[in-house]
Amino acid sequence: MAIETSNNTLQQKVTELVDAGKKDQLSELIETLSCKEVTHLIVHLNQEEQTSLFKLLSPEQAAEILEEIPDLQAVYIIEYLKTKEAAAILDEMESDDQADLIMELDNDEAEAILQEMLPEEAASVRRLLAYESDCAGGMMCTEYFAFYEDQTIRSVTEDLRDNSAKYAAYKLKYIFVISRSGVLKGVLQMQDLLLAGMDRKLSDILVKEISYVDHHITLDELIDFFDTNDWFGVPVVDEERKLVGVVLRSDIREAQATRQTVEHLESQGIIGGEELRTMPVLLRAKRRLSWLSVNILLNIVAASVIAINQDTLSSVIALAVFLPIISDMSGCSGNQAVAVSMRELSIGAVYPGEVLRVLRQELAVGLINGIVLGLLIGMAAFLWKGNFYLGLVVGAALTLNTLLAVCLGGTVPLILKGLNVDPALASGPILTTITDMMGFFLTLTFASMALSHLGGL
Amino acid sequence: MAIETSNNTLQQKVTELVDAGKKDQLSELIETLSCKEVTHLIVHLNQEEQTSLFKLLSPEQAAEILEEIPDLQAVYIIEYLKTKEAAAILDEMESDDQADLIMELDNDEAEAILQEMLPEEAASVRRLLAYESDCAGGMMCTEYFAFYEDQTIRSVTEDLRDNSAKYAAYKLKYIFVISRSGVLKGVLQMQDLLLAGMDRKLSDILVKEISYVDHHITLDELIDFFDTNDWFGVPVVDEERKLVGVVLRSDIREAQATRQTVEHLESQGIIGGEELRTMPVLLRAKRRLSWLSVNILLNIVAASVIAINQDTLSSVIALAVFLPIISDMSGCSGNQAVAVSMRELSIGAVYPGEVLRVLRQELAVGLINGIVLGLLIGMAAFLWKGNFYLGLVVGAALTLNTLLAVCLGGTVPLILKGLNVDPALASGPILTTITDMMGFFLTLTFASMALSHLGGL
C-alpha cells in the first residue's frame, strides 16, 4: 500500500509540473526514474496529461521514454501528438525502434510523420520497413561506423572527432570498411586506428575475415549466430554484399525475450500481442473474446459426450461430481507436459521430429501419476459412497485419462511445431478438448459397464 | 523429420569419435555447434557417453559446454565425473557459473571438488557461496580489472601485457582503482591508460564519481539499477566499501529471463525449477505429483458443492452437461486476467497495492465477456432442450461466474504479490478452486429456484 501512496505522489507531482509548465524540473525528475517507474507513470496518466507531458519534454527525452515503455503504449502517444511533434521525437530514436513504432501506425499517419522527419532518418526507416519484422533487415539498426577503404586514418579520425556528438549514441564500436559502391570489405577495432600511422589507408590495415549475415535471415538463425559467436553485433549485407545495417546481440536477446513473453501470453489466452489495462475496454473485451468463443465451442463439443451418455449419468448421479474433477485434473497433467515440451523446444533439448522419443519419456510419468491420482480419487469415491465399484470406475477413468493427457501434452507441441502451427497458441485448446471428451467418455463407459453395481448412487 | 535424421547423424558421429578417442576431431566438431545443438547433443547422450565425452575434451571446452547447457544437466555431468576431472573443468569457468553449479551439489561432493580446485578459484567460489543466490553478492563475478591507486600506468600496462591470456576472458573492460586495503576509489577506461604518461599514478587520473552497489542488494534493485544506467557492469562493495566483485548487465538480463521462465513453468504446474525429460522418471513423476496432489484436493473441495446439491441435479440431469463447461470457461477467462496482471506487474504498469484500480478495469471486461458467453451458452442450452429456463439458468450462471473469475484473476496476483506469496505459483489454483465452486453453486442454486420449470430435463 505504501507503494500506491508514493506512486500517487509521483503522478501528482508530474501532473503539477506539467500544469505549471516547469520544463526543467520535469525533465530532471523524469531523469531519476527507472524504466518500471516511467512505465507506471505514463500508463496511469490520462491521454490529455500524456500529450501535455510529451509536449513539454525535449524530443531526446521523449524519445527515451518511448523506447522504455511498451510499444503498444508508445503508439497511442504518437497517435495523439501532432505530426510535427511526433516526427521530432522519432528523429531522436534508434532506427530499429523508429521502424517498430511506425509499422504499428495507420499507413496515412505513418506517411505524414515520415514526410516531417529528417530526410536521412525517414530514408533509413523506409529501408527497414521494406523488410519482414522478424528477419535481419527488420531488426537491424542503421547507426554504425562505416568508412571507405581508400580513406586515410587521418580523415577517419577527423570525421570521428567532428561528429563525436552523433557517434556517442552508436552502440557498436566496430568500424566497418566498405568500397565506394558500398560493398563490405572488412572491419577494424577502434584501437587499430590508434596504433597505425595517420597516412595509411584503411585497406592496408582492415581485417578481411569478417562474419556477416544476409538481410533476409530469420530471428532463429540470428539467435544461432550469436550463440556460436562472441560478437556484440554483426553486419548485415544484401545480395551484392553491400552493407545495409548491423544487428546487435542485445537486440536479438530482447527479441528472444519478447517472443517468450508472447508465447506465454498466448498460452494463457491473450492473443494478438500484449494487453495493457489502459487500452479501451471494448478492444480488450473483444480480443479476449476471440479466444474464449473458440474455447466455448470446443467445450460444448466435449460436453456433448455427457449429453450422449445422459442415461448412465441419471442412473448414477454421483458421477456428476467426478466428471469436472476428472476433466480438470487431466488438463493439469497435460499442461505440465505441454510446458516441459515448450521449454525443451525453446532450448533445443528436443526437435519437432522427435515425437516418438517424447512419447516414450512421457508414458512412464503418465502411468505413475495416473495410478497415484486414480487411487486418490478412487479412494475418495469409495469413502464417500461406500461403493467399491464407484471407486474403481472413477479411479480407472482418471488413471487412463491422465496417461492420455500426459502423452498428448508432451507430443502435441512438437507435432504443431512440425506443422508450422504456433504451439503456444493451439496446444492448450487441442489438449483440453480431447482430454475432456475422453475423460467423460471413459468415466461414463466404465460406469455403464458396472451399472448393475452402481444403481441408485 | 529431416531434423531428427541430421541430428541422429551428429549424435552418431560424436559417439564414434568418442569411442575412437579422436580428441582433435571431436573438439573441432563441437566448436562448430550452436548452443541449441550442443544442448540437444548432450541431453541425448546416455550418462556413460557423456562421461567419456567430457573426459576427452579439454577442460576449457568442457567448461564452455557446461555453461551453455541447462544447469540441471550440467550438475548431473559434474556428479558423474571424477572429483579431479570436475575440478579441472570448474577451474575454467567464470566465477558466477562456478558458484551456480557447486551450489546444486551435495555438501560433501561440493567440498571435495573445492579441495581439488585451484586455491584461488576455490576461494572466490567460497566467497560467492556465502551469499544468497539472488543478491548482488550471489550474482557477481570476480573476474575484473582492479589495480592499486599508487600503481603507475607503466606497471599496470606491464601487468596487462604479461597476463593478457588470463585477461582476454574478462568481459568488463573498465579498470577499477582500489586502495591497498581494497577500498574502491574510482574507475578508468582502457583508453585513459593510452593517453596518460607512463609514470603517472592511477590516483592522478582516476574518475572518482563512480556508481557502485552494496553486495546485499536484490535482483529487483539490480534490474532497476541497470534500467537507469547505461553501464555494462557495476562494481559491488561490502560495508567498508571494499570491492568484492562486479555484476554484469548481461548476467542481470539473463537472471531476469530465467525468472520469467520459472514463473511460466510454475504457472503451468512445473515447480521446483526446470524439468528435463532426461531426468530420472521417478523424480519427474514425483515433482509433477507434488503439484497435482494439491490440485486434486482443491478439485474435490470444489466438486463437493455438486455433491451437496445432488438433489437438484438429479431432477435436472441436463445440468450435468453444463457444469464442466461453466467451470472450464470461467477458468479460461480468469487465467487471461491473471496473465495480464502478471505481465503488468513485471513491466511495472501496475503495483501490488493497486487492487481497486485493477478491479475497476476488469469489471467492465468481465461484464461484457460474461454477457456474451452467457448468451452463447444460454442459447445452446435453449436450442438443445427447447426450454427457456434452462437457457436462463446456465446463461446467468456463466455470466456471473465470468465476471467473478475476471475480477479475481486480475486482482489475486496483486494481492499475493503484496503478501509476498509467489503469484505465479498460487494464482491458478486459488482462482480455479473459487471459480469452480462458485460456478457449481450458481448453476445449481439458480436451477433450484427455477426447478418447477425445469422438471424432467
B284 burial level (CB within 10 Å; 0-12, 13-18, 19+): buried
- Nearest chain B alpha carbon to A271: B336
Q: Is A140 within the bounds of a domain?
A: no
Using CB atoms, which residue from B4, B68, B368 is nearest to A354?
B4
Alpha-carbon distance B76 to nearest alpha carbon in chain A (angstroms): 15
pLDDT of residue A157: 82
Q: Which of these, B454, B447, B320, B445, lies nearest to B386 by C-alpha position?
A: B454
A291 CB-near residues (< 8 Å, 6+ apart) = A269, A270, A271, B332, B336
Residue of B267, B284, B380 lying closest to A300 (CB–CB): B380
Among the partner residues A35, A310, A323, nearest to B324 by beta-carbon distance: A323
Q: Among B289, B304, B349, whose Cβ lies nearest the Cβ of A43?
A: B349
Cβ distance B275 to A340 less than 8 Å, yes or no, reads yes
Q: For residue B390, is it within any domain?
A: yes
* CATH code of the domain in which B10 resides: 1.25.60.10
Largest CA distance in chain A: 101
Over range B183-193, report the average pLDDT: 84
Q: Which of B70, B352, B365 sits opposite A347 (nearest CB)?
A: B70
Q: Do A295 and B329 touch (CB under 8 A)?
A: yes
In sequence order, the β-bridge partners of residue A245 are A236
Query: DSSP secondary-structure letter at A178?
Result: E
Residue of chain A whose Cα is closest to the Cα of B258: A257
Question: Minimal Cα distance from A335: which residue of B?
Answer: B268
Of B97, B129, B161, the residue that ends a domain is B129
Domain limit, last residue, from B237, B265, B293: B265
Return the residue in A69, A277, A351 with the most chain B beta carbons within 10 A, the one to mutate for interface testing: A277
Find the mean pLDDT for residues A19-39: 89
Strands across the sheet containing A213-214: A213-214, A233-237, A243-248
Per-residue pLDDT band at B273 (split at 50, 70, 90)? confident
Substitution target from B46, B254, B317, B355 for chain A, most A beta carbons within 10 A = B317
pLDDT above 70 as % of chain B: 97
How many CB atoms sit inside 10 A of residue A312's CB? 19
pLDDT score at A5: 47
Here the cell at position B389 is 429456463
CA separation for the pair B352, B343 (Å, rounded): 12
**Same domain (yes/no): B106, B168:** no
The stretch B74-81 carries a mean pLDDT of 91
Most confident region among A56-70, A405-419, B94-108, B247-261 by mean pLDDT? A405-419
- Residues in chain A within 8 Å Cβ distance of B284: 365
Q: Is A26 exposed, middle or buried (0-12, 13-18, 19+ CB in 10 A)?
A: buried
Q: What is the pLDDT of residue A389?
A: 94
pLDDT at B1 over 60: no
State the Cα–Cα distance between residues B144 and B164, nearest whole angstrom. Answer: 13
Distance from CA of A144 to the nearest CA of B (A): 18
Q: Verify whether the Cβ–Cβ distance B347 to A194 is below 8 Å.
A: no
Cα separation, B375 vs B373, whole angstroms: 5
Q: How far is A181 from chain B (nearest CA, A)?
A: 33
Maximum average pLDDT range among A251-255, A410-414, B186-190: A410-414
Q: Answer whether B91's CB lies under 8 Å from B169's CB.
A: no
User: Does residue B271 lie within any of the structural domains?
Assistant: no
Which among A285, A296, A372 has the least Cβ separation from residue B329? A296
| Nearest neighbour of B323 by CB, restricted to A320, A361, A362 | A320
CA dist A345 and B3 (Å) reads 13
**Yes or no, beta carbons of A304 and B321 under 8 Å apart:** yes
Identify all chain B residues contacting A344, using CB atoms and an 8 Å cutoff: 276-277
The DSSP 8-state label assigned to residue A58 in this structure reads: -
Contact (CB<8Å) B285/A368 = yes
Above 0.85 for ipTM, yes or no?
Answer: yes
Task: Clarify whether residues A44 and A99 are in a common domain.
Answer: yes
Instruction: Give A5's contacts in chain B (Cβ within 8 Å).
Output: 353
The alpha carbon of residue B134 and the mean position of all alpha carbons in its chain are separated, in whole angstroms, by: 12
Which residue of chain B is at minimal alpha-carbon distance from A316?
B314
Is A348 strand, coil or helix? coil
- Enclosing H/E stretch for A157: helix A153-162
- Mean pLDDT score of chain A: 90
Nearest chain B CA: its distance from A93 CA (Å): 16
Q: Do A303 and B325 touch (CB under 8 A)?
A: yes
Give the per-residue pLDDT at B414. Answer: 96
Q: Determine whether the interchain pair A351/B37 forms a contact, defined as Cβ–Cβ distance below 8 Å.
A: no
**pLDDT tens per residue, range B168-186:** 778 777 889 999 999 999 9
Range of the domain at A356: 281-454
Q: In angstroms, how far is CA B29 from the centroid of its own chain? A: 31
| Rounded Cα gap, residues A447 and B320, in angstroms | 15
DSSP string covering A248-312: EHHHHHHHHHHHHHHHHHHHTT--SS---TTS-HHHHHHHHHHHHHHHHHHHHHHHHHHHHTHHH
Of A103, A130, A157, which marks where a domain is finished? A130
Q: Say how many C-beta atoms besides its own lie within 10 A of residue B322's C-beta.
A: 30
Tell me which residue in B331, B352, B369 faces A3 most closely, judged by beta carbons: B352
In-domain check, residue A101:
yes
- pLDDT value for B7: 58
pLDDT range class, residue A2, cuts 50, 70, 90: very low
Query: Pick from A341, A403, A404, A337: which is nearest to A372 by CA?
Result: A403
Other CB atoms within a 10 A radius of the CB of residue B455 amount to 10
Number of structural domains in chain A: 3
Q: Based on the domain organization, do B431 and B393 belong to the same domain? A: yes
Question: How is residue A117 annotated by DSSP?
Answer: S
Q: How far is B180 from chain A (nearest CA, A)?
A: 31
Most B CBs within 10 Å: which of A268, A270, A415, A436, as the mutation test of the B interface? A268
Indicate if B289 and B418 belong to the same structural domain.
yes
CATH code, domain carrying A335: 1.10.357.20
Which site among A296, A345, A412, A419 would you substitute to test the B interface, given the most B Cβ atoms closer than 10 Å to its Cβ? A296
Q: What are the angstrom distances between the C-alpha of A58 and each of A23, A90, A440, B17, B113?
A: 9, 12, 63, 62, 57
DSSP A247: E
Which H or E element spans position A243? strand A243-248
Nearest to B37 among A43, A320, A348 (CB): A348
Question: Which residues of chain A have a CB within 8 Å of the CB of B316?
Answer: none
Q: In this structure, what C-alpha cell is assigned to residue A361?
A: 519419456
Chain B: give the shortest CA distance to residue A260, in Å. 8
Q: Is the pLDDT of residue A432 over 90?
A: yes
Residue B134 lies in a domain: no
Kindly report the CATH number assigned to the domain that includes residue A207. 3.10.580.10
Asked if B247 and B136 count as a contact pair (C-beta separation under 8 A), the reply is yes
Question: Please, which residues bridge with residue A213 across strands?
Answer: A236
Q: How far is CA B198 from CA B151, B156, B187, in A?
A: 11, 9, 18
A285 and A188 in a single domain? The answer is no
pLDDT band at residue B191 using 50, 70 and 90 as cut-offs: low
Residues in chain B: 457
Q: What pLDDT is stored for residue A333 in this prediction?
A: 95
Collapse the DSSP code of A148 into the 3-class scheme (helix H, G, I; strand E, B; otherwise coil) and give the result: strand
Check whether residue B85 and residue B206 sit in a common domain: no
* Structural contact between residues B64 and B94, judged by C-beta atoms closer than 8 angstroms: no
Res. A191 pLDDT band, cuts 50 70 90: low
Return d(Cα A176, Cα A60) in angstroms, integer. Answer: 27
* 3-state secondary structure string across chain B: CHHHHHHHHHHHHHHHHHHHCCHHHHHHHHHCCCHHHHHHHHHHCCHHHHHHHHHHCCHHHHHHHHHHCCHHHHHHHHHHCCHHHHHHHHHCCCHHHHHHHHHHCCHHHHHHHHHHCCHHHHHHHHHHHCCCCCEHHHHCECCCEEEECCCEHHHHHHHHHHCHHHHCCCCCCCEEEECCCCEEEEEECHHHHHHCCCCCEHHHHCECCCCCEECCCEHHHHHHHHHHCCCCEEEEECCCCEEEEEEEHHHHHHHHHHHHHHHHHHHCCCCCCCCCCCCCHHHHHHHHHHHHHHHHHHHHHHHHHHHHCHHHHHHCCCHHHHHHHHHHHHHHHHHHHHHHHHHHHHHCCCCCCCHHHHHHHHHHHHHHHHHHHHHHHHHHHHHHHCCHHHHHHHHHHHHHHHHHHHHHHHHHHHHHHHCCCCHHHHHHHHHHHHHHHHHHHHHHHHHHHCHHHHCCC
| Predicted confidence band of residue A303 (pLDDT cuts 50, 70, 90) | very high
Does residue A235 share a domain with residue A190? Answer: yes
A86 and A36 assigned to the same domain: yes
Residues of chain B positioned with their CB less than 8 A from the CB of A303: 321-322, 324-325
Q: Which residues of B touch A271 (CB under 8 A)?
A: none
Interchain proximity B34–A303, CB inside 8 Å: no
**Taking CB atoms and an 8 Å cutoff, what residues of chain A touch B349?**
39-40, 43, 70, 276-278
Asked if the Cβ–Cβ distance from B344 to A314 is below 8 Å, we say: no
Residue B274 covered by a domain: no
**Do the domain assignments include residue A432?**
yes
B310 and A318 within 8 Å at the Cβ level: the answer is yes
In A, which residues are within 8 Å of B288 by CB distance?
A: 333, 336, 365, 369
> Over 90: is that where the pLDDT of B228 sits?
no
Residues B184, B201: Cα–Cα separation, whole Å: 16
Residue of A nearest to B344 (CA): A276
Provide the pLDDT for residue A6: 54
Same domain, B175 and B301: no
- Chain-chain contact of A351 with B322 (C-beta, under 8 angstroms): no
A107 in the same domain as A196: no
| A7 and A78 share one domain | yes
8 Å CB contact of B281 and A368: yes
Q: Are residues B300 and B429 in the same domain?
A: yes
What is the spatial distance between Cα A359 and Cα A14, in angstroms, rounded to a whole number? 57
Write out pLDDT tens, residues A363-398: 999 999 999 999 999 999 999 999 999 999 999 999
Residues of B with Cβ-Cβ distance to A260 under 8 angstroms: 257, 260-261, 264
Would residue B276 count as lying in a domain?
no
Amino acid identity for residue B422 in this structure: D
Q: Quick check: helix, strand or coil at residue A105? A: coil
